[in-house]
Chain A
Amino acid sequence: MSQSPRLLVEPGRVVLSGCWTLAEMLPQLPALQADLAACSSSIEHWDLSAVTRLDSAAAVLLWRTWGASWPPGLVADDLHRQVLLRVAELPRDIPEQARPRVRFPEWVGALLFKALGNLRGMIALFGQLLLDVGYLVRHPQDVPWKEFTANVYKSGAQALAVTALVGFLIGVTISYLSALQLKSFGADLFIVNILGISIIRELGPVLVAVLVAGRSGSAMTAQIGVMRVTEEIDVLSTMGISRSIRVVLPKIFGLTVAMPLLVLWTSAVALFGGMLAALLQLDLSLIYFLDNLPRAVPVANLVIGLSKGVVFGFVIAVVACHFGLHVKPNTESLSANTTSAVVTAITTVILFDAIFAVFTRHVGVPQL
């Protein structure tokens, strides 16, 4: 039984036989195409009666060979003729799907409009949040305590281990590097000032913000995004449950509460790491370090650090929820928005950090 498609060219006549299907044609496709092209449309007699199977891929191939018209002398049985008829009925010129070329200014403009749109969306989300808070003040029984505590646990308690590990290692690194420098100036004791100010005021909050943006921010965007893809968000609305009160609000306030606590914890662990490194490198006792810490670092720094935590937590959650709510129902949009959420959250956090630095430049720096 001959399965593979065969082509026999006789003078003025072409005889096809075998199984003309995509699967059978594939191994010898270039040869078949060349053969078909060789017997040009000048040949009028095509004998398809020996063809056992003819699928639409083969029909398209034949139709193209014939130059999109029926050859006058076509011998084929009804089934095969029907397959060919389907191909013949297609519109002659199928429009090519042209993709418009994007020029550079257009690209920049589109980017700008997108950024403005996101900014507007986040402001709208903020406004919605204020309205929700207003509503909850009037109806305290509707406060979603369970979701709120679950979010504090998920984004706070479950992040303790990783933030501690990273904080400890950063503390050790900074202490070790500074100790080398300070030793050469004989200014060993200033290690307390350097570590205290840098970690409590700056590194602790920013470090935690970056970690949390990657950890909890992306999780929030993905969760809300998938809820949109699977229409779960719409189910909530049809049940008369406000999505912003039940889904968005607990996430934002949960992270706003959890972040300063994480900042406190991470700064403490980082300082502990720094103290250990100072002990090993400079023989600075832990007692001395702790005794001198309050003197070197005014308490205002702690307040600044913790308020940075509050602001950063709020910013990360708002950005994450905004991008989550604007996921379109496809996988591409989900991945793009999760990426945007993390990148935007980290950038915004650094921007806010700079604003903090400018406005608190006279606060909490010990005057010598």
Chain B
Amino acid sequence: MTRPAVIELNGVGASFRGRTVHRDLSLRVEEGQIVGLLGGSGSGKTTLLREILGLLKPDSGSVRLFGVDLNEPDVRMQRNLRRRLGMLFQHGALFSALSVFDNIAFPLRELRCLDADWIRRLVHLKLAMVGLEPNHGKLMPAELSGGMVKRVALARALALEPELLLLDEPTAGLDPDRSQNFVELVGDLQRELGLTVVMVTHDLNTLAGLATHVAVLADQHIIAFGPKAEVMTVDHPFVTGFFGADRRKLL
């Protein structure tokens, strides 16, 4: 029995106010892959993530996660599907009225199965994982620095032990040291849990350190998808421009 692909997009099309963002876009991500999604500004990378999350319904085509169509009407199936993925939004999107601790505990509490001690341990574990102190848990999101917001958001995305992790610009705004830690952390998690990761990034170091596969979004669809080394040799103005002189360093 072959397991269904984690993400499967087929002929997806989307447009905003007459402007086409995606046209006939197809992508298939298998379990355990770490996919770096590249594309110029405004090429619809975040839109693609939102389509995968089901926040945005494409005009045409289908989106399947773990073999389940996102248009599946069964509410419980939908909810269980959402619990299998974690998302790190570009600007963190922490609940501003809740403390750091409560932000991370929120999805765990929503399960209504775990006791308070278990949740507390898990939250402190996630905090430690992303390199924060237990006493940071009392802070409110407004009191955090930009990098801390990102780490708390990652801890929250990891709270439910997702099988699929979507990261929107995970290392933007982090100092090189932190971003290296982040790369190592996600790499570790991937090895331990067999996570599938899709990340939008502009940072070549993150890409080089983490991604196994690269998908390039240009001209409203995926122009290249495959192992990192393979994609870098694609002859497309965006690919050559993006990697430029760094092409050799990444290989």
Whether the Cβ atoms of B191 and A56 lie closer than 8 Å is: no
Q: Which of B84, B96, B161 contacts A57 (CB 8 A)?
A: B161
Residue of B nearest to A60 (CB): B121
Please report the total number of B residues contacting A with Cβ < 8 Å.
35
Q: Which chain B residues border A97 with CB–CB below 8 Å?
A: 101, 137-138
The winner among B121, B193, B194 for most chain A CB atoms within 10 A is: B121
Residue of A nearest to B141 (CB): A330
Whether the Cβ atoms of A55 and B161 lie closer than 8 Å is: yes
Chain A nearest CB: distance from B95 CB in Å?
8
Q: Verify if A215 is at the interface (C-beta below 8 Å from B).
A: no
Q: Which of A53, A55, A87, A332 contacts B121 (CB 8 A)?
A: A87
Whether the Cβ atoms of A332 and B96 lie closer than 8 Å is: yes
Chain B nearest CB: distance from A83 CB in Å?
6
| Chain A contacts with B in 167-222, Cβ cutoff 8 A | none
Q: Verify if B213 is at the interface (C-beta below 8 Å from A).
A: no
Cα–Cα, bound, A21→B83 (Å): 12
Which of A22-30, A234-242, A294-302 faces chain B?
A22-30
Whether the Cβ atoms of A94 and B161 lie closer than 8 Å is: no
The verdict on A94 contacting B124 (CB below 8 Å), with A22-B160, A55-B161 known, is yes
Whether the Cβ atoms of A90 and B128 lie closer than 8 Å is: yes
Residue of B nearest to A335 (CB): B97
Whether the Cβ atoms of B125 and A90 lie closer than 8 Å is: yes
Residue of B nearest to A58 (CB): B161
Residue of A nearest to B128 (CB): A90
Chain B nearest CB: distance from A56 CB in Å?
5
Cα–Cα, bound, A63→B121 (Å): 10
Q: Which chain B residues border A56 with CB–CB below 8 Å?
A: 122, 125-126, 129, 161
Whether the Cβ atoms of B192 and A79 lie closer than 8 Å is: yes
Chain A nearest CB: distance from B80 CB in Å?
8
Chain B nearest CB: distance from A331 CB in Å?
5
Whether the Cβ atoms of B118 and A86 lie closer than 8 Å is: no
Cα–Cα, bound, A123→B191 (Å): 61
Cα–Cα, bound, A56→B49 (Å): 26
Q: Verify if A40 is at the interface (C-beta below 8 Å from B).
A: no
Whether the Cβ atoms of B142 and A328 lie closer than 8 Å is: yes
Chain A nearest CB: distance from B174 CB in Å?
20
Q: Which chain A residues border B193 with CB–CB below 8 Å?
A: 21, 53, 55
Q: Verify if B120 is at the interface (C-beta below 8 Å from A).
A: yes
| Chain B contacts with A in 117-170, Cβ cutoff 8 A | 117-118, 120-122, 124-126, 128-129, 134, 137-138, 140-142, 160-161, 163
Chain B nearest CB: distance from A84 CB in Å?
11
Whether the Cβ atoms of A330 and B124 lie closer than 8 Å is: no
Residues of B within 8 A of A (CB): 1, 80, 83-84, 95-97, 101, 111, 113-114, 117-118, 120-122, 124-126, 128-129, 134, 137-138, 140-142, 160-161, 163, 188, 191-194
3 pairs of A and B residues whose beta carbons are closest in the complex = A332-B97, A330-B96, A55-B161
Residues of A within 8 A of B (CB): 1, 21-23, 26, 29, 53-57, 60-61, 63-64, 79, 82-83, 86-87, 89-91, 94-97, 229, 328-333
